[in-house]
Amino acid sequence: QLQLQESGSGQVKPSQTLSLTCAVSGGSISSGDFFWSWIRQPPGKALEWIGDIFQSVTTNYNPSLKSRVTISVDRSKNQFSLKLSSVTAADTAVYYCARGSSGYNALDYWGQGTLVTVSS
Amino acid sequence: DIQMTQSPSSLSASVGDRVTITCRSSQSISSYLNWYQQRPGKAPKLLIYGASNLQSGVSSRFSGSGSGTDFTLTISSLQPEDFATYYCQQTYSTGTFGQGTRVEFK
């Protein structure tokens, strides 16, 4: 059974860079045609798609975040990462990692989510 | 950018009711439409992919339909565990979510 687990700093200061990692277990991040994705959800608000990476190379980002986002894969550690620069309080959210598949990039496996608070 | 609009934003229903949630995209997305259920404090769960395909392990009381710009999620007979928030997501271009529909007890 595939499992995803987010980790990283739970608190980030304004203007700094948010960094999160998603560890994948029960399967290889290098196998299959999957999109490894990041999604976030501000407290009490809707889900927001951040971006994804395909076959460790091709990235797609939300246009509203594109200038600040980097998603990468570390095959040796079977994990992928999110970096979001120049954060503000508006970036406070639960951040989820997930796998997209089935040809429609449907997000079929999710991590439990991790709360990141932007505060000085 | 493709915008996704769900309606209603919330609804009240009783166990056994038939519930319908709609999702409209700002441009045609073919069948690149997925539905998710999210219970409080939990990660979303995939229900329907490709507009009408039931995800493995999901109850058959959930069904999806539509193509182009207009889509529907139907719960045929609402069960206690179905009281949650439902999101549509287009994956035709990037991955925009709708604003969610909260299904509450009447």
For residues A66-90, give the mean pLDDT: 97
pLDDT tens readout for residues A86-118: 999 999 999 999 999 868 999 999 999 999 999
Asked whether the beta carbons of residue A46 and residue B98 sit closer than 8 angstroms, the reply is yes
pLDDT tens readout for residues B63-83: 999 999 999 999 999 999 999
pLDDT score of A31: 83
The answer to whether residue B62 neighbours chain A at the CB level (below 8 Å) is no
What does each C-alpha distance from A15 to A10, A18, B9, B57 come to in angstroms?
Answer: 15, 9, 34, 43
Q: How far apart, in whole angstroms, are the C-alpha atoms of residue A48 and residue B57?
A: 25
> Across chain A, what does the average pLDDT equal?
96
The single-letter code of the amino acid at A65 is L
B96, B72, B39: which is closest to A39 by C-alpha?
A: B96
Asked whether the beta carbons of residue A104 and residue B87 sit closer than 8 angstroms, the reply is no
The answer to whether residue A61 neighbours chain B at the CB level (below 8 Å) is yes
